[in-house]
Amino acid sequence: MYKRVLLLGDSQTQRGAAPQGWVNLIADKYCRRLDITNRGLSGYNTRWFLERICDIVPAVPAYHYDLGVLWLGNNDTVGEGCVQHVPQREYSRNLTLIVSKLVDCIGIQPSNLLILTPTCVDEVMLDKVFPNSGRTNERMREYADLTLDVARDRKCEHADLYSLFSKHTGKGLFTDGLHLNTEGNGLVAQVVDNFLSHRIEGTLPLPDWKDLS
């Protein structure tokens, strides 16, 4: 009756469950239409995500998922000396295998899987909070392009958050240069809302109380 949505990602997705977070905004809007599962894992890169994919998304899931949103890469982009770093070639391979798990094993159709790219960052703010992380906008753009390549190759829906956020950098979108503030979460919520709104029926699964009398 209710379509099920699986959200997979790192801290950007985990933190999205907070008040005014993008996951919370989506869950509030679609509370009468969708069942949403949040599997955001703070700090995870694609390597660690892939290593634990069978625990995150079991081979025989408890539920059938109709729609999915995948948002990784924000941690893979750190500098080579950081433990979270994943080289670009491995990143592409990991992301492809994660997508294959969702499409081939879980059964989410490529057209019903939205892949989000890493955003740009506020380098000045970021260096104050996470000094020597190695994250630069040049590096974030490279990983965003790799993300789009994987999405297109697997014929999945995709959104270039790097370009979207770059157009709004003057408005202040981050709490620490990387993680999203209210405005940043609002942008992501709009993107995900646009994806979901075209894939659900217009009527509520259960009637409004006014129609029961």
* Cα 127 from Cα 146, distance rounded (Å): 24
Within 30-188, strands assigned E span 34-40, 67-71, 113-116, 157-159
* Cα 48 from Cα 52, distance rounded (Å): 6
Selected catalytic residue, list 10, 11, 104, 208: 11
Reply yes or no on whether 85 is catalytic: no
Instruction: Name the β-bridge partners of 84.
Output: none
Reply yes or no on whether 100 is catalytic: no
Selected catalytic residue, list 168, 176, 197, 198: 176
Comparing CA positions, the residue from 176, 84, 181 lying closest to residue 131 is 176
Which residues 6+ apart lie within 8 Å of 154 measured at CB?
96, 99, 100, 103, 110
Reply yes or no on whether 197 is catalytic: no
Based on its alpha-carbon atoms, the radius of gyration of the chain, rounded to whole angstroms, reads: 17
* Cα 160 from Cα 163, distance rounded (Å): 6
Name the residue with tokens 């297109």.
152
Selected catalytic residue, list 10, 76, 85, 179: 179
- Residues acting as catalytic residues: 11, 176, 179
